[in-house]
Structures are given as structure tokens and as C-alpha cells.
């Protein structure tokens, strides 16, 4: 894709944010083109969750800006950002105390009953494994299946941008690989526009571009090949991976 001709879906420009008086993001830049999968890599505490929460409006930005499809989001509430077509999957991803079907229905809040019914039937076709267990509590699902339900929830409103926070959290390596395979299959089918924060390198298989943040600052932005060739960034990142494994 020639990025000079395509208007980005999401533009995060010199973003600053934090908690109370504690600044965490120090001018982060990220953009996502329509139909592109950007994997945001960063070690524990690098500021990934803080960045995604600020994009969603769950935290205010203290500097810089967030734009989606050319509109500034800074003053919008989280629900307004969702209605504009952004879908967010937090690390938890689902409500364990609700059934699988209820988890999907609440995602359709504000849509007409007819649309919800239609979207549910489309989701059941796309995720037959969830349909089979639709009346069971989400809390009864395995960790891997919960993440699949979380992914299904992000699909429910046919978003134009999906933002996912560390979907590998709490999953065994086998489930992580299965989740990556599933996301690759969904992307091949319908070209998601996806910004996904991770520290698990298995997600590089899904990435079309990689952004690395470190200490709340942008450290790298490039293709997977450029990432692989950048020994400084790779060593810093894989060094952390090795220490943690």
C-alpha cells in the first residue's frame, strides 16, 4: 500500500497523557491506515494501555491529539468514539457474569432491535463455536475461548477501527498461537483496521506495520522487515522477551 495516497483512519499526534500528576506518554505518534494491522510493541509499563485508553477517551490527553477519519476526538466521550466506529477490546475483553449472547447484545447498545438480531445471526455464522454455547456464562469459557468472544464483540458493530489491548494476556502459548491464527483468518476475510498492543512476539505474524514505544515515547515505526533488520530496537525488545521467558 502506498501510504502517501491513503488517508489514515487513525492519527495519534504527539500524544501526552498520564494519571493525575504522573505523566506516562511523552509525545507518542501512531497512525493506522484503512485495512491495516499495526502491532504496538512495548515492554511492561511502556505505556501501551495508557495510549489505547487515551485513544478511546477513557483517559484525557494533556497534549497532542487523536483524530479518526479526519475528525478530532479529543473532546469526545468514549461512547461517542464507539458510535463513530471504533471498537475497543480491553485485556479482560468480556463480562464473565453474563452469558455469551448477553455479552454480544450489550455491545449492540443503542442499535435497533432489528440490527442487533441481524448482527447476532451474522456473528453466529462467523463464530459457530460461540453459537453452540450461547446461553452459557462467558466465565465458564476457557481463557482462549473468552478471547475469541472478546474478538466477536469487537466485530459486532462492524467497526471501522478496532483497538485491542494485549489479547495474549493470561493465555498459554498454544492458545496465543490459535488466537493469532484466528485473527489472521478474520483479517484475510474482511480486512480489519486494527491497532493491537502486545508484548508477545507471536503477534508479529499478524502485523503489517510495527510501532514500538518505550518509556512512553515512540521508539520505532516501520514494516516487519525493517523491525527485523533494526538490531537496536529488536535487541532491546527481544532482550526483554528473553528475560521474561
Residue 13 pairs in a beta bridge with 65
Please give the Cα distance from 186 to 163 (Å, whole number): 15
CB of 183 to ligand ATP, least distance (A): 19
Instruction: Give whichever of 103 and 199 is closer to ligand ATP, judged by the CB atom.
Output: 199
Residue 149 CA from chain centroid, whole number? 14
Distances (CA, A) of 24 to 48, 52, 166, 214: 10, 12, 18, 10
Q: Judged by CB, which is closer to ligand ATP: 45, or 63?
A: 45
Closest CA to 180 of 167, 169, 193: 167
The DSSP annotation for 73-98 comes to -TT--HHHHHHTTEEEE-SS-S-TTS
| Measured CA distances, 241 to 96, 152, 200, 202 (Å) | 30, 29, 8, 11
Phi, psi of 200 (to 5 degrees): -95, 120
Of 50 and 107, nearer to ligand ATP (C-beta) is 50
- As measured in angstroms, the least distance from the Cβ of 129 to ligand ATP is 28
Please state the φ and ψ torsions of residue 229, each to the nearest 5 degrees. Answer: -85, -15
Between 22 and 174, name the residue whose CB sits nearer to ligand ATP.
Answer: 22
For ligand ATP, the closer CB: 169 or 224: 169
- Residues contributing to the site for ligand ATP (CB under 6 A): 19, 22, 24, 42, 44-50, 166, 199
Q: How far is the CB of 113 from ligand ATP (least distance, A)?
A: 37
Nearer to ligand ATP, 17 or 138 (CB): 17
**120/100 Cα distance (integer angstroms):** 11
Q: What is the smallest separation between the CB atom of 45 and ligand ATP, expressed in angstroms?
A: 4
Least distance CB 52 / ligand ATP (angstroms):
8
Report the relative pairing of strands 63-68 and 161-165 from DSSP bridges.
Answer: unpaired
Minimum distance between the CB of residue 12 and ligand ATP, rounded to whole angstroms? 14
Amino acid at each position: 500500500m502506498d501510504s502517501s495516497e491513503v488517508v489514515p483512519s487513525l492519527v495519534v499526534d504527539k500524544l501526552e497523557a498520564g494519571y493525575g500528576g504522573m505523566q506516562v506518554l511523552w509525545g507518542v505518534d501512531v497512525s493506522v491506515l484503512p485495512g491495516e494491522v499495526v502491532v504496538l510493541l512495548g515492554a511492561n509499563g511502556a505505556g501501551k494501555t495508557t495510549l489505547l485508553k487515551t485513544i478511546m477517551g477513557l483517559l484525557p490527553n494533556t497534549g497532542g491529539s487523536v483524530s479518526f477519519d479526519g475528525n478530532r476526538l479529543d473532546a469526545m466521550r468514549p461512547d461517542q468514539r464507539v458510535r463513530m466506529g471504533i471498537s475497543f477490546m480491553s485485556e479482560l475483553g468480556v463480562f464473565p457474569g453474563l452469558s455469551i449472547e448477553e455479552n454480544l447484545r450489550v455491545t449492540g447498545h443503542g442499535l435497533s432491535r432489528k440490527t442487533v438480531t441481524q448482527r447476532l445471526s451474522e456473528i453466529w455464522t462467523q463464530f459457530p463455536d460461540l453459537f453452540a454455547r450461547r446461553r452459557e456464562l462467558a466465565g465458564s469459557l476457557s481463557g482462549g475461548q473468552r478471547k475469541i468472544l472478546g474478538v466477536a464483540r469487537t466485530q459486532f458493530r462492524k467497526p471501522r477501527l478496532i483497538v485491542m489491548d494485549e489479547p495474549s494476556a493470561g493465555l498459554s502459548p498454544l492458545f496465543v498461537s490459535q488466537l493469532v491464527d484466528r485473527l489472521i483468518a478474520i483479517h484475510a476475510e474482511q480486512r480489519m483496521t486494527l491497532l493491537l498492543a502486545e508484548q508477545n512476539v507471536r503477534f508479529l505474524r499478524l502485523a503489517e506495520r510495527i510501532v514500538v514505544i518505550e518509556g512512553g515515547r515512540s521508539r520505532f515505526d516501520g514494516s516487519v522487515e525493517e523491525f527485523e533488520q533494526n538490531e537496536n530496537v529488536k535487541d532491546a525488545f527481544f532482550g526483554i522477551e528473553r528475560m521474561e521467558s
